[in-house]
Amino acid sequence: MLPQKISKLLMSAAFILYLTPSFGVELTPLKPSTTQEITAIEILEKLKIYHFNRISVDDTLSEQLFDAYLDSLDPNRSYFVQQDIAEFSKYRLSFDDMLKRGDLSAAFDIFNRYQQRFVSREEKKIALLDQPENFDFSRDELLQIDRSEAEWIDNEELLEDLWRRNVKYQLLSLKLAGKSLEKASQQLQKRFKNNLERSIQISAEDVFQLFMNSLTSLYDPHTSYFSPRTSENFNISMSLSLEGIGAVLQREDEFTKVSSIVKGGPADKQGELQTSDRIVSVAQGQEGEFVDVVGWRLDEVVDLIRGPKDSVVKLEVIPSGQDETQRKTIAITRNKVKLEDQSSKKKVIELVDNGGVSRKYGVVQIPAFYIDFEALRNGDPEYKSTTRDVQNLINQLLTEDQVEGIIIDLRGNGGGSLQEANALTGLFIEAGPTVQIRRSSNRVIRQGKPVPSAYYDGPLVVVIDRLSASASEIFAGAIQDYKRGIIVGEQSFGKGTVQSLAELESGQIKMTESKFYRISGESTQHRGVVPDIHFPDNYNHDDVGESALEKALPWDTINPVRHPVYGVDMAMIKAAETKHNARIVGHPDFDFVKQRYAIMQERAHREFIPLKEDKLKAQRENDRKALREIENVRRAAKGEELLPEDEPEQDDESSDAVAATESTQENSDDQSEKEQPEKPDFVVEEAAHILQDAFIKISSQLAVKE
């Protein structure tokens, strides 16, 4: 027995030695406060009573929380080793009981170990870069992209080699992006030193928020705990009271990722920043120096991007679907996101039918479901809302423009006011229910248009995409269930849940309390709205949509609601779909979307990155070439100027071609959109063709009601 005890003692000594930062950084173990212990009990109680997803706080939840917490700390399994996990396993079945009594000691013990590991690792990475010439870029080796499902590493030598490869990749990425080896090494050392400094500054509040969000993530992806500081930032973002760029950001591994673009905001107007882009550095003004923000806390990056109205912020981003070797710089003028910037807008499309007759169709673009509650409360008869604006636009299209049908464009509309989604549906039906809301108590509330009134009952097509969510899905789903119009585009986002905020002893909790259901009884959750006629996908469903989120609540059904139906039937849809499919064969824009999606899918399934310079460079050039080739095929078919072979960054810009046009509007209040030359939108044009194919031959039977 003695040799075994000595062996364990030596292992412990080596373990402690490894935990000691080599550069002499002193770490004070963090401890929870009494307030945080009280708040933990309060969070658990509120989740138990109010959350839609009723989860028992037992050993099963404890195991899930144990794994979720480790994943939140070390998602790529590159800091902890097997010995750590074995030591932590004593907590695997204890978290439930500890939470019930507000005991956070285990969570803080695990975090303190992680912080030690992190500091030690950053110091070693910095030391590796003291001699960047020691990295052999001619050596043929690989780096695994995703280790989230890999085994925990069982020895120091393998861990060291993993991090050597990681640093080598980052160094090579900067080198291929045009930096000298010396400059690349200096930039990375600065990044790692910043990471080191931020790690040392982490507070008990940060640890508590991280652990609590590991818990809330088990309920669903939209339930979150906000610390007092995070609550302040959240309330600011909801009120839009500070100037910024109009983008929703989230943390993904070491990167700040664009979760969505606010319609009508500065980034949306500028037109280049896209959903799923990753921000790597930020500069102030046109001439400001870029600050590397890889590894920064999300709130720190947000603070850096915010700023005074009319000031410029420059972002260096890795475009969606690209690797770290490919960068793009975007300059955005900060401004407030104004209600009028999110207003619905109209335009007219003219098509020639098979008989040679020119026909006009109206398009109403709805970027959000908005309402000016303050003006409404103050009794302003001219208060602004989606429904009021759309009603006026439809009247103008029918009376002034003499259109024969309406297209509602909900692409990129992430939702907004439920009240407006119901009211808007009422513009297209005589009366009836529009949505069912199921509470956590299982009580079902129905909302809709209770009293019959005048409505537009002419030809109707609704366009949706993967970014159409929440209120957009309620409207599109109701139109589909009533057989009132044809839904075209991509399968929508699938967010069919309702959240509410609750104050806590310290901070706030945002909880999912209800689910939306269509009048057919089907949930909009997870599956969203499936279009009657599907267009080629722009977005990878593994990256964008409710189905891409961990622990998303499932799709299910409740009892349907009786409702009338209108004139759209399956035969009409199938006939229009047949003509649509024939029409888009060889269509340059639709072909580009399909080919680009296939390329992005191939990239998304890569498991390893080559660390040999000529191989990574060749892969990068092949990726660029593939996108440039399909873009030039598109341009050639449309008679546009081709991209030159020697324009390395053009493929990033051409990615915007999936939307057929790239916004060129200046971020200026006094420059109207009417001054901008409007480029054709192939998605809306195809929607107009479908409307014409499906409805115009029976337009006499679908007269507009006065």
| CA dist., res. 505 & res. 403, Å (int) | 57
CB 40 within 8 A of CB 102: yes
If the chain, 706 residues long, is cut into consecutive pieces of 10 residues, what is the mean pLDDT of each piece?
34 34 68 96 94 94 97 94 96 96 97 94 94 94 93 92 95 91 93 88 92 96 86 46 70 77 80 86 87 79 84 88 75 75 88 89 93 80 88 97 97 90 96 94 93 94 96 97 97 93 90 95 95 94 88 95 94 96 95 93 90 94 91 92 67 32 32 48 96 75 39
**Three-state secondary structure string covering 159-224:** HHHHHHHHHHHHHHHHHHCCCCHHHHHHHHHHHHHHHHHHHHCCCHHHHHHHHHHHHHCCCCCCCE
- Give CA–CA dist 367/699, Å, rounded: 28
Q: Spell out the domains of the chain, with CATH numbers in brackets.
A: 18-216 (no CATH), 241-333 (2.30.42.10), 339-568 (3.90.226.10)
β-bridge mates for residue 445, sequence order: 437
Is residue 448 classed as helix, strand or coil in its secondary structure?
Answer: strand
SS3 per residue for 281-294: EEEECCCCCCEECC
Amino acid 534: pLDDT: 97
CB 573 within 8 A of CB 532: yes
Cβ atoms of 612 and 139 closer than 8 Å: yes
Q: Which residues contact 636 (CB under 8 A, 6 or more apart)?
A: 642
What is the spatial distance between Cα 260 and Cα 274, in angstroms, rounded to a whole number?
Answer: 8
CB atoms within 10 A of CB 308: 9
Contact at 8 Å (CB) between 499 and 513?
yes
pLDDT of residue 257: 85
User: From CA 324, how far away is CA 255, in angstroms rounded?
Assistant: 11
CB under 8 Å to 5, separation ≥6 — which residues? none
The end-to-end CA distance of the chain, in Å, is 95
**Is the Cα dihedral 486, 489, 494, 499 positive or negative?**
negative
Please state, in angstroms and rounded to a whole number, the distance separating the CA atoms of residues 517 and 146.
Answer: 36
Question: Which bin fits 529, alpha (ψ -120 to 50), beta or left (φ > 0)?
Answer: beta
pLDDT for position 258: 86
Report the distance separating Cα 602 and Cα 619, nearest Å: 12
CA neighbor of 124 nearest in space, from 192, 27, 194, 191: 192
The DSSP element (H or E) to which 500 belongs, if any, is: strand 497-503
Pairing of strands 278-284, 291-292: antiparallel
The values of phi and psi at residue 75, to 5°, are -65, -30
Q: Which residues lie closer than 8 Å to 76 by C-beta, 6 or more apart?
A: 146, 147, 148, 253
Structure tokens at 233: 């930032």
Distance CA 520, CA 474 (A): 11
Q: Measured on CA atoms in the order 208, 210, 211, 215, is the torsion positive or negative?
A: positive
Q: Helix (H) and strand (E) counts for the chain? A: 21, 19
pLDDT at 114: 96
Give catalytic residue positions: 470, 481, 495
Determine contact, residues 275/282, Cβ cutoff 8 Å: no
In SS3 terms, 610-665 reads as ECCHHHHHHHHHHHHHHHHHHHHHHHHHCCCCCCCCCCCCHHHHHHHHHHCCCCCC
Beta-carbon contacts of 147 under 8 Å, excluding residues fewer than 6 positions away, are: 76, 77, 78
- Give the pLDDT score at 515: 95
Query: Which amino acid is residue 591, in one-letter code?
Result: D
Which pLDDT score is estimated for 338?
63
Burial profile 611-620: b = 16 or more Cβ within 10 angstroms, e = fewer = bbbeebbebb
What integer pLDDT is reported at residue 253 of this predicted model?
66
In whole angstroms, give the CA distance from residue 597 to residue 591: 10
Output the pLDDT for position 96.
95
